[in-house]
Amino acid sequence: MLARVIQSKTIHWLGRQLSNQDNPESWLDPVLARINPMWVQAYTPARVEQVIQETADTRTFVLRPARRWTGFRAGQHVNICTEIDGVRRNRTFSLSSSPLLWESQGLVTLTIKRLPGGLVTNWLHDQVEPGQVIGLGEAFGEFLIPEPAQPVLFITGGSGITPVVSQLETMAAQDYPAPVTLLYFVRTHRDVIAGEKLRALASRHSTLRVQVIATNESEEPRFFRGEDLDEIADLKSREVYLCGPKGLMDLAGELLHQRGVTDDRIHSTFFAPPAPAQLEGAGLGGQVTFAKSDVQVGSEGDANLLEIAEAAGLKPQYGCRMGICHQCSCRKTSGTVINRLTGQVSGAGEENVQLCISVPRGPVSVDV
- What is d(CA 117, CA 115) in angstroms, rounded to the nearest whole number? 6
Find the mean pLDDT for residues 89-115: 94
Rounded distance, CA 341 to CA 19, Å? 36
What pLDDT sits at residue 21?
Answer: 47
| CATH C-level class of 43-141 | mainly beta
Q: Tens digits of per-residue pLDDT, 32-78? A: 455 556 556 567 899 999 999 999 999 999 999 998 999 999 999 99
User: Quick one: pLDDT at residue 326?
Assistant: 76
Domain spanning 285-366, CATH architecture: Roll (3.10)
Taking the C-alpha atoms of residue 368 and residue 366, their distance in angstroms, rounded to an integer, is 6
Domain boundaries, the chain: 1-41, 43-141, 152-266, 285-366
Contact residues for 346 (Cβ-Cβ < 8 A; gap 6+):
332, 336, 337, 338, 339, 353, 358
Confidence of residue 157 (pLDDT cuts 50, 70, 90): very high
CB 324 within 8 A of CB 270: yes
- Per-residue pLDDT at 269: 83
pLDDT grade, residue 285 (50/70/90)? confident
Residue 19 has pLDDT above 50, yes or no: no
Domains 43-141 and 152-266 share a fold: no
Which of 57, 145, 159, 34 minimizes the C-alpha distance to 100?
145
- Among 3.10.350.10, 3.30.70.250, 3.20.20.140, 3.40.50.80, name the CATH number for the domain at 152-266: 3.40.50.80
For the chain, give the mean pLDDT.
86
Task: Provide the H-helix boundaries in the chain.
Answer: 2-19, 29-35, 99-105, 119-127, 162-173, 195-204, 226-230, 246-258, 305-311
Q: Exposed (0-12), middle (13-18) or buried (19+): which is 160, by Cβ within 10 Å?
A: buried
Residue 222 CA to its chain's centroid (Å) = 29
More confident residue, 20 or 180: 180
Beta strands in 11-120 (DSSP E): 44-55, 58-65, 77-84, 87-94, 108-113
Specify the higher pLDDT residue, 270 or 233. Answer: 233
Strands 358-366 and 133-136: unpaired
Q: Is the pTM of this model over 0.85?
A: no
Helical packing angle, 195-204 and 162-173, nearest 10° = 30
Q: Provide the edge-to-edge strand list for the sheet that holds 285-290.
A: 295-300, 285-290, 358-366, 329-339, 351-354
Residue 167: CA count within 13 A, CB half-sphere: 28
Share of the chain above pLDDT 70, in %: 85
Per-residue pLDDT tens for 159-179?
999 999 999 999 999 999 999
